[in-house]
Every structure is written in C-alpha cells, then in structure tokens.
C-alpha cells in the first residue's frame, strides 16, 4: 500500500443541533478530518434510508446521522 487508509465518512446533521456544533468548530478554527463530509439537513427526521444507502453506493465507508 502506498499510503495509510483513510475511510470516507458522510454525516447527515441537523441544522439546529449537530451542524451548529460543526460550524462552531470551524468558527473557532478547529480542524476535523478532511475525509469527513457533512450534509446539512433541517431535521434528521427527514432522512430516508435510501439517502444513507446511496451514500454507501457512492463510496462512503461510514455514514452517521446526528440530530
């Protein structure tokens, strides 16, 4: 292997809760892993299973929902 394994992670985050925390981390100049992608939602209750499966289909190694 040429390099170290970096899993691709997709997070579905609530606009008012989890996304606010990620946004605050950016405002404070804190860094999180570049292999994490965040999808902002108005409410995590709107997440359909098909969206989670589509993320895996598109190459994500892990998917999480944070509200």
- The full 3-state SS of 13-65, as one line of letters, equals EECCCHHHHHHHHHHCCCCCCCCEEEEEECCHHHCCHHHHHHHHHCCCCEEEE
Quick: pLDDT tens for 24-62. Answer: 777 787 777 889 999 999 998 889 999 999 999 999 999
- Partnered with residue 32 across adjacent β-strands are none
Domain boundaries, the chain: 9-66
Backbone Cα Rg of the chain: 13
Task: Look at residue 7 in the predicted model and tell me its pLDDT.
Answer: 94
Say yes or no to pLDDT of 1 above 70. Answer: no
- Record the pTM: 0.81
pLDDT band at 12 (very low <50, low <70, confident <90, very high): very high
Task: Look at residue 19 in the predicted model and tell me its pLDDT.
Answer: 81
């Amino acid at each position: 292997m040429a390099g170290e394994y970096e899993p691709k992670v997709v997070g579905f985050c609530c606009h008012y809760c989890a996304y606010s925390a990620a946004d605050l981390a950016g405002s404070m100049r804190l860094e999180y892993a570049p292999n994490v992608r965040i999808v902002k939602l108005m409410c995590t209750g709107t997440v359909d299973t098909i969206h989670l499966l589509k993320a895996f289909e598109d190459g994500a190694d892990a998917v999480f929902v944070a509200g």
